[in-house]
Structure 1
Amino acid sequence: MELAICTDVFSSLSVEDMLDKVKSLGIHAVEMTAGGWGSCAHAPAEKLLHDEKRLEEFRRLFEKKGIEIAALNCSGNQLSPGEMGERHTAGAYETAVLAGRLGVKKLVMMSGLPAGAPTDMTPNWITSTVSWPDYMPECVRYQWEDVAIPWWKKFVEHCEKQGIERIAIEEFPSQLVYNPATLWQLRDAVGPMIGMNMDPSHLIVMGADPIAGLRNLEGAVYHIHGKDARVERGLCDVNGLLETRAVTESSQRSWNYVAVGCGKDLQWWREFFSVARMTGYDGYVSLEMEDLTMSVMAGLETSIEALGQSISR
């Protein structure tokens, strides 16, 4: 395994300055947002695809700096009804074309989340039992069979034409794929191009065990995000793990995203990567810094040190 970094944390820097910053941290691979909700500060698919000279300069800059593109990320909600879904769908298709032009073989995405019915205009994340109320089964059937599976089958065909080999779906809360079971559901319906971007922080905050998740997903983990979370003692005991407060309200939340090693200890992370390697993963681990309890650089340095001591190389 090798360490990469998600570059949105350096969104204020130019591409060249970002690459220099990444190298100064001892990292030689990047994951960049090119569509969806990301800043797209360094790899805006639409702009690069409409300017051949700019695209060629972009490609040469990475060669010059000795930095590899581990993946392009276009995480968004392409299954949303209305303008958002249309915009994120267009961005996903453009990102796939850009990946093909750059020789990048992997996309990192989210599954998307449809509305609960054809006439609804707001995505609906159903987490309660479908046994009651009685409208739940039809909502879930509609989301999967009428929206998600057809969209993904068509998109996979597009990606195959661009030379993309793997699409790593991040198991994010409020998405249709949010755990191993729902990843398998999509993969079984669409095909083996679909795998998981294992982001342990999301399973942690839903009360699951990412290490057990790795074992369940043997052969289907296509990417890993180096990102930690801490379930806050006392607060979670009172209010549970369902949390709607803004991420900036760190002191009041039942859980928070934190620098690697500030949620789970190093022994846990060493076991996590050992099991990842044992079950077949030997790719990039992209550090994603979203800890609001410390400065960006403190979070990066803390995470890099912890990942350096735990990644199975």
Structure 2
Amino acid sequence: MKLGMVTDSLAELTLAEAAKVCRSLGLEQVELGCGNWSPAPHVNLDALTADAGERRHLMDTLAENGLEISALNCSGNPLFPGEKGARDRAVAEKTFTLAEQLGLKTVVMMSGLPGGCPEDRTPTWIVTSWPPETLEILKYQWQVAIPAWKELARKANDHGIERIALEFHGWQLVYSTETLLRLRGEVGNILGVNLDPSHLFWMGADPLAVAEALKGCIYHVHIKDVRLERAAGPNTLLDTKGVLEYATRSWNFVTPGTGHDESWWRSFLAKLRDCGYDGPLSIEQEDYTIPTRLALEQAAALLRRVLPA
């Protein structure tokens, strides 16, 4: 397994500056955001897909710092009703093009989420089987999602993409082992998981059990932690307060080791190895309680300590 970073974690820096930070942390890989929910701080999709010189400059900048690209990330909602979904799909398709041009085989995405009926203008996330209308909504959403993802998978395959790593997240149709396997069963083995334990923690799953259940289709891994806050008191873990309101949230994204201790992370990486995973470990820094550079230093140091021999 190689250590890397989602460079959105250093969005305020230029690519050259971010690459130097990665080198100073002893990282080997970077995951580049290409748009949609990423601000794409280090990727100009239009320029890179159109100009081989721009692509050479990107790769040279990384190589000068001993870095390679683990994956491109274009997470967004390709199932959003109307023009918004069309725009997100266009970014995904252009990301497939760039991946092919750079010789990359993995793209990280999220499944997206449709509306609840043909007339909806926004998505709706169903997380219960009652009231009865929820089941009709889910039936409609899967009827939308399956053909849309078959088409996305076909286009990805046309560009030589072998792995689309879907990240479990709230407000997505795919947010669990069961939902991933359902979509994968319909679309094919090009779909796998980007296993990010942080989202599993707040949604109540055991990341080690998830890894075991998804043996053979773990295509990418994000390294991010969650701390469940005692201050939640009478509130549930379904929390809509912004991430910068960390003092009053029920849970927070935190630096690995501060939500779950070092022994847990050692067990997690050992489980990944037992499941046959030998791919990237991509740090995604979203801990707003400490300075970014300090959080990255702590995360990289912890990973080096717990990597399986």
Letter of the 2:127 counterpart = T
SS at match of 1:152: helix
- Paired residues of 1:6 and 1:287 also in contact (CA < 8 A): yes
SS at match of 1:65: coil
SS at match of 1:225: strand
In the alignment, structure 1 residue 116 sits paired with structure 2 residue 113:
no
Counterparts of residues 25-174 of structure 1 (less than 5 Å): 25-129=25-129, 132-145=130-143, 147-174=144-171
Letter of the 1:264 counterpart = H
Between 263-272 and 37-46, report the one with greater CA deviation.
Answer: 37-46
**Which of 162, 177, 182 in structure 1 is aligned with 2:179?**
182
In the alignment, structure 1 residue 255 sits paired with structure 2 residue 251:
yes
SS at match of 2:64: helix
Aligned length: 309
SS at match of 2:175: coil
Identity of paired residues, percent?
44
> Structure 1 length normalisation: TM-score?
0.95
**Which of 235, 238, 244 in structure 1 is aligned with 2:240?**
244
Q: Partner of 2:219 in structure 1?
A: 222
Q: Partner of 1:288 in structure 2?
A: 284
**Which of 174, 199, 202 in structure 2 is aligned with 1:205?**
202
SS at match of 1:4: strand
**Runs (5+) with no aligned partner, structure 1:** none
In the alignment, structure 1 residue 232 sits paired with structure 2 residue 217:
no
CA offsets 1:135-175 (integer angstroms, 9 cap, x no match): 22221111112x21111111111111111111110001111
Q: Which runs of 4+ in 1 moved over 3 A?
A: none
Q: Partner of 1:278 in structure 2?
A: 274
Q: Partner of 2:11 in structure 1?
A: 11
Letter of the 1:219 counterpart = G
The 1-side partners of 2:67 and 2:302 are apart by 22
Between 45-54 and 26-35, report the one with greater CA deviation.
Answer: 45-54
- Paired residues of 1:207 and 1:241 also in contact (CA < 8 A): no
The 2-side partners of 1:66 and 1:28 are apart by 6
Between 154-163 and 86-95, report the one with greater CA deviation.
Answer: 154-163
Once the two structures are TM-superposed, the CA of residue 238 in structure 1 deviates from its matched residue by 1.8
CA offsets 1:77-96 (integer angstroms, 9 cap, x no match): 11111232111110000000
Once the two structures are TM-superposed, the CA of residue 234 in structure 1 deviates from its matched residue by 4.3
Once the two structures are TM-superposed, the CA of residue 56 in structure 1 deviates from its matched residue by 2.8
The 1-side partners of 2:159 and 2:62 are apart by 20
Letter of the 2:214 counterpart = L
Between 57-66 and 280-289, report the one with greater CA deviation.
Answer: 57-66
Q: Partner of 1:23 in structure 2?
A: 23
The 2-side partners of 1:64 and 1:264 are apart by 35
Letter of the 1:225 counterpart = H
- Paired residues of 1:187 and 1:195 also in contact (CA < 8 A): yes
- Paired residues of 2:6 and 2:283 also in contact (CA < 8 A): yes
- Paired residues of 1:211 and 1:275 also in contact (CA < 8 A): yes
The 1-side partners of 2:234 and 2:183 are apart by 35
> Structure 2 length normalisation: TM-score?
0.97
SS at match of 2:30: strand
The 2-side partners of 1:312 and 1:94 are apart by 36
CA offsets 1:1-40 (integer angstroms, 9 cap, x no match): 1111000111122222221121111112100101221011
Between 34-43 and 260-269, report the one with greater CA deviation.
Answer: 34-43
Letter of the 2:113 counterpart = L
The 1-side partners of 2:43 and 2:102 are apart by 11
The 2-side partners of 1:201 and 1:311 are apart by 18
- Paired residues of 2:231 and 2:249 also in contact (CA < 8 A): no
Q: Partner of 2:261 in structure 1?
A: 265
Between 50-59 and 105-114, report the one with greater CA deviation.
Answer: 50-59
What's the RMSD between the two structures over aligned residues? 1.3
Once the two structures are TM-superposed, the CA of residue 134 in structure 1 deviates from its matched residue by 2.6
SS at match of 1:251: coil
The 2-side partners of 1:127 and 1:280 are apart by 31
CA offsets 1:208-249 (integer angstroms, 9 cap, x no match): 1111111111111111100000111241x5212111111111
Once the two structures are TM-superposed, the CA of residue 65 in structure 1 deviates from its matched residue by 3.2
The 2-side partners of 1:274 and 1:250 are apart by 31
SS at match of 2:247: helix
